[in-house]
Structure 1
Amino acid sequence: MRYACIIYYDPETLFGGGPEANSVLAECSTYDEVLTASGHFVAGEALTMPHEAMTVRMRGGKMSAVDGPFMETKEMLGGFIIIEASDLNEAVQVAAGIPQARIGTVEVRPIVDFSQPPPEL
């Protein structure tokens, strides 16, 4: 099954120059290779800073586009990694190895299999 590891961090912490942050940044450049070697890596991308983003909404047939996301937190969405894992427990164990998990948060969420019925609410 595929899982999205959604990475959040405080950019002031990650890019602030502290020793742990510098270690995390150094590991990020090669971590996809670690996941590939273990057979877990599917895809991954880092995202630019939020001020480079646009938020789009469609309401009543009209589009609204505004600068950046609206956040009330210091942490921002920094990127994602798609992994393959046998179950949620294995996916969580894999996500724990993502370098940014040491200074931020990694949300692990199963990817929807559209061949299955939609979730019940």
Structure 2
Amino acid sequence: MKYMLLIYSNENAWTESEREKCFAESAELTHELNAKGQFLAAAPLHPVSAATNVKVREGKRLVTDGPFAETREQLGGYFLIDAENLDEAIDIAGRIPGARKGTVEIRPVLEIAGVALKS
């Protein structure tokens, strides 16, 4: 089953050296998962100050800058994995460096016929 592991943390809680170490550890984890056939994708995100939001209301598009809502933790990146079950996904999520300063949300991916993930 495919799982999206969404990494949330306060982006101001990381020093630049901690962030670089996190990226390096995350890259190591992606190589390990890839060797086991479990890695599908992963990427860090730019800060929320670079975000753009789009809403469509009554047929009109509204585009705004920045985060949707003020929160203490922001979505900072993700891993997309293939795991045997939720327990295995939990084990992998616990190895993501971002879990040490934030939260990793695990969501099963709903697979829809005709919508394929790029392999």
TM-score, normalized by the shorter chain, greater than 0.5:
yes
Contact 1:14 1:25 in 2 (8 A): no
The structural deviation recorded for 1:31 is 2.5
**What pairs with 1:1-121 in structure 2 (closer than 5 Å)?**
1-15=1-15, 23-115=21-113
The structural deviation recorded for 1:75 is 1.0
The structural deviation recorded for 1:17 is 5.2
Comparing 92-101 and 30-39, the one that deviates more:
30-39
The structural deviation recorded for 1:94 is 1.0
The structural deviation recorded for 1:55 is 0.4
Flag structure 2 segments of 5+ consecutive residues without an equivalent. Answer: 114-119
Contact 1:42 1:82 in 2 (8 A): yes
Comparing 33-42 and 73-82, the one that deviates more:
33-42
Q: Distance in 2 between matches of 1:32 and 1:15?
A: 22
1:37-82, Cα deviation, whole Å (9 max, x unpaired): 2332111111101111110000110000000122332211001110
Count, aligned residues: 113
Alpha carbon RMSD of aligned pairs, Å? 1.8
The structural deviation recorded for 1:25 is 4.3
Flag structure 1 segments of 5+ consecutive residues without an equivalent. Answer: 116-121
Helix, strand or coil: the match of 2:54? strand
Contact 1:14 1:22 in 2 (8 A): no
TM-score (norm 1): 0.82
TM-score (norm 2): 0.84
Helix, strand or coil: the match of 1:57? strand
Helix, strand or coil: the match of 1:94? helix
